[in-house]
Amino acid sequence: MSADAGGDPRDGGRTRRIVWVSVAVAALLVAASLVVPFLEDGETYEVAFGPGAADAADQGAVFEVLPHRRIGDVIWLELEPGDSLLVRNLDDEVHQVAGIAARPGESVLHTFRERGVFSDVCSLDVTVFVEVGRR
């Protein structure tokens, strides 16, 4: 086969591979453009445990900065998928909220990607429910 009639026949496989790789890369880019909007981060909310937080008179006050409702000793944090919760511990004891534990001097960030209800008893002996995706 001459070069004028379609190029070197030994190059045919290489050209097909380049075309297939180009098509695969284009398909991945299209798929990523469809998925990325769902993975975008939402708001970041902070819970800060100051020095002596475990001895504070109103232990639920650390949650006042968050979208929440309170019924007695139960606190419902209301978040959306993609929202993050930053637990900042300035106390000398370990503190936890919704399963996120922070050692003294540590800050831990957790992003909630899925809808659902997550609960535990926080280190301040307050039951905390994190409800993701109800708003």
Helix H or strand E encompassing 13: helix 12-39
Pair of tokens at residue 39: 């993975």
DSSP string, 94-134: -EEETTEEE-TT-EEEEE--S-EEEEEE-TTS-EEEEEES-
pLDDT digits (tens, 9 = 90+) for 28-60: 766 655 554 455 578 898 888 888 776 664 555
Q: What is the spatial distance between Cα 42 and Cα 112, in angstroms, rounded to a whole number?
A: 9
Distance from the Cα of residue 28 to its chain's centroid? 23
Phi/psi of residue 106, nearest 5 degrees: -105, 150
So what's the pLDDT on residue 107?
95
pTM of the model: 0.61
pLDDT digits (tens, 9 = 90+) for 60-110: 566 666 677 788 778 888 889 999 989 999 988 888 888 889 999 999 999
